[in-house]
Structure 1
Amino acid sequence: MKKLFVSDFDGTATALDFYKIVLNKIGDEGWTYVREHRKTGKVDYHFLNKIFGWHQLTDSEYESLIGTIELDGHLRALLTYLSDQQIDFKFVSAGFDRYIQDVLKKEGYEHVDVITNPGFFEEGIMRMAPNVQSPFYSDVFGIDKGEVMRSFKKEYDRIYFAGDTEPDLSAALEADVIFAKGELIELVKQAGKDCIEFETYEEVVDHLKRGV
């Protein structure tokens, strides 16, 4: 039986979503904008590009921002366990590749597969640039994680998924086993599905060892 473990990146492998880290750097004016936006709109990739492009960053400021992002301390243990069990692993993210790859490289995980939106940091501006020709394109999140998961189901017999927010819901509902944290827990329950609640990958490994 061929198995795959899929994880969200921001807020699942990391403590905070990247855009929230950027907002903390912007300060009160950024958070005020978010509160006003949420009254009428979604946190979609158009909104995120507004946040990412709020201020120009120097190269050193960008590197400092990347340096503040810490991965779950149990990620290596998860990857080791999955490798030992011959279970493949992939990140699927509604963020963008530039900062994700920079974080993974910083932490020594540049070999890990990531499916996400294209993006760049050029002339002091970060920007998501989703591929509108992609079969996984979403006008909301840039990438439709549910479509990505459906493509995986053509290749794998059993798929695990771990996530934390609304963009993860469509992917979670395609999984055989759902690990959920944060707002995803209630969203999955509202959809009539069961999930395993977790906070860190250490708990995920414990459940996998029990044979979920």
Structure 2
Amino acid sequence: MKKPIILCDFDGTITKRDNILSIMKKFAPPEWERLKDDILASNISIQKGVGDMFRLIPSYEKYQLIEYALSHAELREGFHEFVSYTKEVDIPLYVVSGGMDFFVKPILKSLIPDDHIFCNEADFSGDFVTVHWPHACDDACQNECGCCKPSILRKLKEEDHEVIVIGDSITDFQVATMADVVFARDFLIEKCTEEGISFQPFESFFDIVKSLKKRQVVNV
């Protein structure tokens, strides 16, 4: 039996809402919406679009932005139980997020160790927010993903791994094409349906735990 490994998205997956979209609605001028639409339509890369969106926000709003993100984030039902289950059956769980370190890591503190979290980094040292990309695309990917989930998977995956991907967005699509099992919601469902990729829909992490138990997924 293959050993399972889980790569789970953060915004709109672990959290009920997409935190970047919430931040943009609150702090960015209207131009951000065109950038968002261009990302979803694949007119521009995720890295360029997200970088350009954050550059619309002045750095002096740093602390209001952080406070807003942390106070408005809400975990999806069953996430605590899901984390407990993965620990109980010894399945490696990695959070791979196109979100920013200033909200991803504090929200997941005490739940997921830092070395199992991959996300982007926000820099407030200039006049406007700049995004750094510590997990950019490797030589096998030319999509300018920003936080490149396929590249991260290539670093983590071993030959005997069964790859389980959980996500909701365009940022999860490329890694979903590499997965053995996909749990999808929202826009990722549309993309998987369009491209003929098999997936299981979910609303809460209770759904995912139930499915994994049914499959008797245990890391042996």
Count of residues in correspondence between the two structures: 210
Match of 1:83 in 2: 87
Q: Does the CA contact (< 8 Å) of 1:98 and 1:120 recur in 2?
A: no
Whole-angstrom CA distance in 1 between matches of 2:142 and 2:99: 12
* Aligned: 1:210 with 2:207: no
Distance 2:127 2:32 in 1: 21
Greater shift after overlay, 148-157 or 29-38?
Answer: 29-38
The answer to whether residue 111 in structure 2 is matched with residue 109 in structure 1 is yes
Unaligned stretches of 5+ in structure 1? none
Q: Write the letter of the residue equivalent to 2:7.
A: V
| Counterpart position of 2:195 | 191
**What SS does the aligned partner of 1:79 have?**
helix
Aligned counterpart for 1:165 among listed residues 164, 169, 175: 169
When the two chains are superposed, the root-mean-square deviation of aligned CA atoms in Å is: 2.9
Is the CA contact 1:22–1:52 (under 8 Å) kept in the aligned structure 2? no
Alignment match of 1:52 (pick from 42, 49, 54): 54
1:165 CA displacement: 1.3
Q: Which range moved further: 64-73 or 124-133? A: 124-133
Q: TM-score, normalised by structure 1?
A: 0.83
2:9 counterpart residue number: 8
CA shift for structure 1 position 91: 0.6
What displacement does 1:156 show? 4.9
Could you list the runs of 5+ residues in structure 2 that have no partner in the other structure?
Answer: none
Amino acid at match of 1:173: T
Deviation by residue 1:130-171 (Cα, 9 ceiling, x = unmatched): 148763776632132122223333265212110111221111
Query: Structure 1 residues 151 and 30, CA, compared in 2 at 3 Å: closer, same or farther?
Result: same
Question: 1:179 maps to which residue?
Answer: 183
**Deviations, residues 51-84 of structure 1 (Å, cap 9, x unaligned):** 2232321424422332211222311100111111
- C-alpha deviation, 1:25, in angstroms: 0.3
Residue 19 of structure 1: how far off its partner (Å)? 2.0
Moved more, 177-186 or 47-56: 47-56
Q: TM-score, normalised by structure 2?
A: 0.80
Contact between 2:119 and 2:135, CA under 8 Å: does it hold in 1? no
User: Is residue 133–residue 147 contact of structure 2 (8 Å, CA) maintained in 1?
Assistant: yes
- Which deviates more from structure 2 when the two are superposed, residues 85-94 or residues 144-153? 144-153
Q: What is the CA–CA distance in structure 2 between the aligned matches of 1:154 and 1:160, rounded to whole Å?
A: 13
The aligned amino acid for 1:64 is Y
2:172 partner SS:
helix
